[in-house]
Structure 1
Amino acid sequence: MLKLFGNVGALALPAGILTLIALMVVPIPAFMLDVFFVFNIALSVAVLMAAMNAEKPLDFSSFPSVLLFATLLRLALNVASTRVVLVHGHTGGAAAGRVIESFGAFLIGGNFAVGLFVFAILMIINMVVVTKGAGRVSEVSARFTLDALPGKQMAIDADLGAGLINAQEAKQRRRDVATEADFYGSMDGASKFVKGDAIAAVLILGVNIIAGFCLGMLSHGLTAADAAQKYVTLAVGDALVAQVPSLLLSIAAAVIVTRVADSRNLSGQIGGQFASPSTWLPVAVILTAIGMIPAMPQSVFLPAAGLSGWLWWNLKKRAARQKIADTPEAEAAADPARITLEDVSDHTLVTIELGYGLVHLVDTKRGSPLVARITGVRKQLSQACGFIVPQFRVRDSLELPPNQYRILLGGVAIGGATVQPERILAINAGEANDFHTMRGERTTDPSFGCPALWIDPASRDTAIAEGFLTVDAGTVIATHLNQLLGERPQAMLGPDEVRAILEGVRTRAAGLVETIHPNPLSLGTITRVLRALLEDGVGIGHPLPILAALGQAVQQTTEHERLIDLVRAELGPMIVGKVCSPHDRLPVITLEAGLEAMIVNGMQDPVSGLPVIEPDLARGLGERIAAMITERGAGAIPPALIVQPRARRTLSAALRFRAPACLVLSISELPQSQPIEVIAVIGGEANSPAPPIPAPTVPALTDQSARSGRGAGPGQALPEGLAA
């Protein structure tokens, strides 16, 4: 049954178009003409009501096409009625149908001269006022809509990048923007239909009058007076029958293009905006003052003033009742005995707390400069980390000094500083002149620890000329936030973010996701693995190779530490490729076999089972490697420390803050085809410079020759400490 109705609906429009063509060509009886005239009036009223009840113009996006078909229907009826009037008009008023006869007799009293004047007035209203205004509004709306289209698209992309909307919402908003542009462009052209229809009505009326005179006097032997009475009356009635629906459609077109998007229909929108008591009191006072003038008709002005005063009084009482109705909720919200979950918990992962002296940085009346920069930081972090970073929260804190801010991650403070919101921070990043003349309050850049000065905004150009980097207080906070969170991407990755990643991959590689989730790995397990990769500096912006490596690893084990080692081994080319191309030699640092064995077989963490490095040894390794990196220079390829798989995570954690530029790899993660260059063996030097590396206390392993010489070049073998 539904299929049958669907087929009927699909055939309705072609059948209607064929009917319009038939009306123009095939003669129809007067009764059918009456039916089509009534249908035309009903259709025009329905279109006007649909335009008034739409909440926004796009709710009636088919209006241009409906306007076209309604105009064609009216023109077809004009052709059909013209044929009937000219053929049978000599027989009397009923020859063209009861509708035309009624319009000619009732609306103009049978006087065709009055009808001509009424028709002319309707044409002036339709063409000069309504149609011309609607056409101008459509033209301007189309122009501004097309001009704003790139900005709207960029705003959608920015909201998507900032995580304010998801991909489905962004797709829907893009579709709405494109539909809006098409709609106003179509309305600009559709307004020409109404104008052309009005011109056609004038021409058709002229043809009917002239042809009626000629046919009445020449073909039917009527006198000029009889021909005018019969034919001109019918022609004017026919024109009025067509002009009333045309005026309704012109009003509908003007309504739809002048609408502003609102949650209410046009009646509710206008009524709600005229429901203010302050609107009607001045009206009542002014009408009363005019009515008190002796020459004015008090019988009209004073009742109108009384009605305006009555509206003011009733609207005022309704506003008072509404205020009283809203008061209990306000009192309940202010009840000190009422405690909500929001009062005792913070559901935001990242929070920026501001002293009261910095609150104006998030004031919407001043443009919220800090909010815009924080949104940019969130977008930048999302692009760098490979997932949508959760939204941040900015709030004021009475615990902080006026100009101090604090950054919390999971409720724990990870950084903060004091800024001067009305001044500029001039940072000496190493490019400032040693003999500069800048004067200001000395401080330190909270993000990178560079020496800086707080200066007056008027000295900004001078500071730039002196080689300083100048930023305002909002930029200082945003940069510090970016730097702190960029060091902890794993802390911002949760199950919800991982679920979004999996759903995104599922749309393109559903089989890949099904191999790992929900079996054999749960969402929590995948989250833990990805967080471990982020902690090791492996980005997840390209999840396909990571999930593929994870899918191969789960074929061997589901144990967490082993999974990470297998995934990293599979991703070895990608990890090494970030610091060294496959054709360049990778600088390699290794540990002496005894030192490496001491770390592997030494103390272990009772919880994780990983080796634990003594603090002095960790400090010595970090300072030694940091010194090597410094000696190589800023433009050199950073070295990689190659160790046994069991020692990789321990040494990576030890060097993360002491020598962050050093890449720590296990021997299984080094690509087979990667050329290497061993630049140092720590612990095996004859005369080790300070700081000293403690001598090993555990014998070296006996299988240190495994995989020796791989990728080292002709005649060069890897040191024994590089073996697995």
Structure 2
Amino acid sequence: MADPQTIKASSGAIPAPVELWANYQSLLGPLVLIMILTMIVVPLPPILLDVLFTFNITFALLILFAALHVKKPLDFSAFPTVLLLATLLRLALNVAAARVILLHGFHGNQSAGIVIESFGRFVVGGDYVVGIVVFAILIIINFVVVTKGSSRIAEVGARFSLDAMPGKQMAIDADLNAGMITQIEARRRRDEVSAESDFYGSMDGASKFVRGDAIAAILIIIINLVGGLIIGVFQHNLSLAAAAKTYTLLSIGDGLVAQIPSLVISMAAGILVSRSGTEGEVSHLVSGQVFGGNRKGLLITAITLGVTGIIPGMPHVAFLFYAILTGILWQVLQRRATVTATAAAQAITAPFQEPPADVVDSNILRPVEPLSIAIGYQIIPLIAEGGDLQKRLNLLRRRTSENLGFLLPSIHVHDDLTLRPGGYRIQVHGVRVATGDVRVGSLLAISGKAPLPPLEGIHTTDPVFGASAYWIATERSDDAELLGYTVIDPATVITTHTNECLTRYIGELFGLRQTQELLDIAAARNGKLLESVVPRVISIPALSKVLRELVVEGVSIRDMPTILETLAENGQEGASMVQTVEIIRSRLGRQILSVLAPDDPIQTAILGQSMEQLLLNAVESAGPNGMPALEPSILMHLMQALRQGIETMQAQSLKPLLVVRDPLRQALSTWLHSAGLTMAVVAFSEVPGARPLKSVLEIS
């Protein structure tokens, strides 16, 4: 039996409409341009003019409703091109209609088509002066008000979006470096920032076409009127009154049937560029902000209308009707807000139901989460289904797991009514390690080390790094970025704080369970190698300690085969954990430096000769397995010098890195970690021989 697909193909089945559209969609642009050129050159019959003018009106309405329903301006990024095509189409129709009016207008009012005649008769209404005035008013509305305003908004939007690009790019890079977004998401956001700037720039240019179109409409109606009168009177022997009646009606009808779509598209352009970066349909935004969030304004409006309605001599019915209508709307919204607030208050103040005192079961022994975040009730929307905070935490967990080479435990988020409404608490194994506060609905503008002008908002301190910051309204984010502030949302604050805690307490999140998971993966791929190492050379608990030390210093343990091979080749009975870690680090040196310093030369800090000799003497006195002891004053001096070195390298946009002699690496790394300083310490033996070193700082 033949295959149905073969039968369908051989019978010449007609493709589905969707497939036809996909096949011929690329021809749409050239066809439209050819149609426009044809209308300019070739005389068109009146019936075809009716079809094209109706299409022009339909096209304009489609553009208007598309602009109303897009969630953000970039969703209609083709609008500048569409605006240009619509303008060219109108001008071509004006040329075609002018040709028909001047050539055949003497035959009567329907000589240029029913559409032009109907629009002209409906507006003129028997009085040609009124028709001309109405047309002039439409031109003024379109040219002076709508088009000029849209052009100015597009011009300012283009300038400010271009000025804000560096700040937005830095914010994207900060999110990427913090692990809150992936490379793909960062690339998408960069493309969106670039597309936004291009969009407003294109709108700035395209709006000039609309203004030119409005001027052209005035000139075209004057040409049609004057030319029609001359042709009607001198060529076709019409009386001046008959020629004025015919050509005025046709000229005004032609102008109106072209200017109404022009006004509609200008309205669409104004709506699109005046969105101010907000997301959501225009109808939802306007109704929610004008009515839903403006109950006090509704009440004041109702009172004002009511007082105006009872003033003698005023139209009482009209004012009192709208006063009552506005008052009813205020009452409905007020009741709804009261019900919502009452329900929220009841949920917050509901008493905690303690279990009966005589009931003791396993439910009182709840498991302790390795990593958890307790949040106040105002932050709950950020972790609800589709919430931004939960997505960012998931991305952070994934990125950290990929970088370090083991599966990080899930980040458990739960509400805690004992916290402040905007407070949060980060916990490791149930113990608090960090706290902070955010303001949901606002943005945090963080200043750098250089002093910046104050902002209008609530002054605070960045909970992550302790920098000066302000909680500002969302609409002021562009102004803050232009002043040099880094602007982030509450979800980013919590995620960045969690990332800092992960870096500091990662060793407490790695244990025997994670070690066993890695060994299970290694057994499936390198079973023989694993058998020769565990437990012959090293036990699982000892291996777990070694891997934990590597993870604490930010070394990825993803390359387990290399780690196992190193243990198999260099495993020594009685070797300390410190020695084992240093042997593995030396083998993984190329990998370590590729993360810390991917570019050549490796720019690093080094120890001064006197400081280096002092530390070497202390290490020799401590022995191979001991921790060197320094006098408190010397240790404080060393930590202060290292802290200044970190700040100096960060000011030069360098990742803090210190290369030292092999015996000193472990001790310096331990001291830095204990002091809470973030600086990678690498031994000279870990540096690949082919990579050059460049000393940028001396610690002494």
**Normalising TM by the smaller chain, what interval?**
0.5 to 0.7
Mapped contact 1:652–1:664 kept (Cα < 8 A): no
Aligned equivalents of 1:185, 1:101: Cα separation in 2 = 39
**CA drift at 1:328:** 6.5
**CA drift at 1:639:** 5.3
Partner of 1:535: 549
Q: Which amino acid aligns with 1:71?
A: T
1:519 paired with 2:525, answer yes
**CA drift at 1:313:** 2.7
Aligned equivalents of 1:338, 1:169: Cα separation in 2 = 47
Q: Which amino acid aligns with 2:281?
A: N
**CA drift at 1:165:** 2.4
**CA drift at 1:4:** 3.9
Closer/same/farther in 2, CA of residues 571 and 320 from structure 1, 3 Å limit = closer
Aligned equivalents of 1:237, 1:569: Cα separation in 2 = 86
Equivalent positions of 1:36-115 (< 5 A) are 36-115=52-131
Aligned equivalents of 1:495, 1:221: Cα separation in 2 = 106
**Post-superposition CA distance 1:402-440 (Å, at most 9, x none):** xxxx99643468999xxxxxxxxxxxxxxxxxxxxxxxx
Q: Which has the larger radius of gyration?
A: 1
**CA drift at 1:195:** 0.4
Aligned length: 517
Partner of 2:451: none
Closer/same/farther in 2, CA of residues 135 and 96 from structure 1, 3 Å limit = same
Partner of 1:211: 227
Partner of 1:160: 176
Q: Of the candidates 299, 312, 326, which is equivalent to residue 308 of structure 1?
A: 326
Aligned equivalents of 1:120, 1:670: Cα separation in 2 = 79
Partner of 1:138: 154
Partner of 1:297: 315
SS at match of 1:157: helix
**CA drift at 1:167:** 2.5
Closer/same/farther in 2, CA of residues 5 and 415 from structure 1, 3 Å limit = closer
Q: Which amino acid aligns with 1:294?
A: P
TM-score where L is the length of structure 1: 0.58
Q: Of the candidates 353, 369, 373, which is equivalent to residue 336 of structure 1?
A: 353
Equivalent positions of 1:126-525 (< 5 A) are 126-273=142-289, 274-275=291-292, 276-323=294-341, 329-330=347-348, 334-336=351-353, 347=369, 349=371, 409-411=428-430, 490-491=507-508, 519-520=525-526
Q: Which amino acid aligns with 1:336?
A: Q
Aligned equivalents of 1:260, 1:206: Cα separation in 2 = 39
Closer/same/farther in 2, CA of residues 313 and 571 from structure 1, 3 Å limit = closer
Partner of 1:117: 133
Mapped contact 1:641–1:664 kept (Cα < 8 A): no
Partner of 1:645: none
Mapped contact 1:284–1:308 kept (Cα < 8 A): yes
1:18 paired with 2:34, answer yes
Aligned equivalents of 1:558, 1:3: Cα separation in 2 = 66
**CA drift at 1:282:** 1.7
- Residue identity over aligned pairs, in percent, reads 39
Mapped contact 2:511–2:544 kept (Cα < 8 A): no
Aligned equivalents of 2:513, 2:176: Cα separation in 1 = 16
Aligned CA-pair RMSD: 5.9
SS at match of 1:77: helix
**CA drift at 1:142:** 1.1
Aligned equivalents of 2:180, 2:99: Cα separation in 1 = 63
**CA drift at 1:669:** 9.4
Aligned equivalents of 2:365, 2:245: Cα separation in 1 = 85
Aligned equivalents of 2:151, 2:672: Cα separation in 1 = 71
Aligned equivalents of 1:495, 1:48: Cα separation in 2 = 63
Larger deviation, residues 119-128 vs 156-165 = 156-165
**CA drift at 1:179:** 1.4
Aligned equivalents of 2:541, 2:152: Cα separation in 1 = 57
Closer/same/farther in 2, CA of residues 281 and 398 from structure 1, 3 Å limit = closer
Mapped contact 1:104–1:110 kept (Cα < 8 A): no
Aligned equivalents of 1:671, 1:221: Cα separation in 2 = 99
Q: Which amino acid aligns with 1:258?
A: S
**Post-superposition CA distance 1:132-167 (Å, at most 9, x none):** 111111111111111111001111111222223232
**CA drift at 1:308:** 2.2
**CA drift at 1:318:** 3.5
Q: Which amino acid aligns with 2:549?
A: E
**CA drift at 1:569:** 6.2
SS at match of 2:525: coil
Mapped contact 1:291–1:302 kept (Cα < 8 A): yes
Query: Taking CA–CA contacts closer than 8 Å with sequence separation of 6 or more, which of the two structures ends up with the larger relative contact order?
Result: 2
Aligned equivalents of 2:228, 2:40: Cα separation in 1 = 19
SS at match of 1:242: helix
Mapped contact 1:131–1:254 kept (Cα < 8 A): yes
Aligned equivalents of 1:145, 1:26: Cα separation in 2 = 44
Closer/same/farther in 2, CA of residues 347 and 130 from structure 1, 3 Å limit = farther
Aligned equivalents of 2:347, 2:252: Cα separation in 1 = 64
SS at match of 1:336: coil
Partner of 2:386: none
Q: Which amino acid aligns with 1:410?
A: H
Q: Which amino acid aligns with 2:160?
A: F
**Post-superposition CA distance 1:195-231 (Å, at most 9, x none):** 0110111111121112112211222122222221111
**Post-superposition CA distance 1:492-528 (Å, at most 9, x none):** 5699999xxx9xxxxxxxxxxxx97973489x99999
Mapped contact 1:47–1:252 kept (Cα < 8 A): yes
Aligned equivalents of 1:497, 1:132: Cα separation in 2 = 65
**CA drift at 1:485:** 8.0
**CA drift at 1:188:** 1.1
Closer/same/farther in 2, CA of residues 302 and 155 from structure 1, 3 Å limit = same
Q: Which amino acid aligns with 2:317?
A: S
SS at match of 1:295: coil
TM-score where L is the length of structure 2: 0.59
Aligned equivalents of 1:76, 1:234: Cα separation in 2 = 17
Query: Unaligned regions of 5+ residues in structure 2, if any?
Result: 1-14, 357-362, 376-392, 420-424, 436-497, 535-539, 594-601, 642-657, 691-700
SS at match of 1:221: coil
Aligned equivalents of 1:338, 1:75: Cα separation in 2 = 79
Mapped contact 1:78–1:204 kept (Cα < 8 A): yes
Aligned equivalents of 2:341, 2:522: Cα separation in 1 = 57
Closer/same/farther in 2, CA of residues 248 and 344 from structure 1, 3 Å limit = farther
Mapped contact 2:555–2:592 kept (Cα < 8 A): no
Larger deviation, residues 79-88 vs 486-495 = 486-495
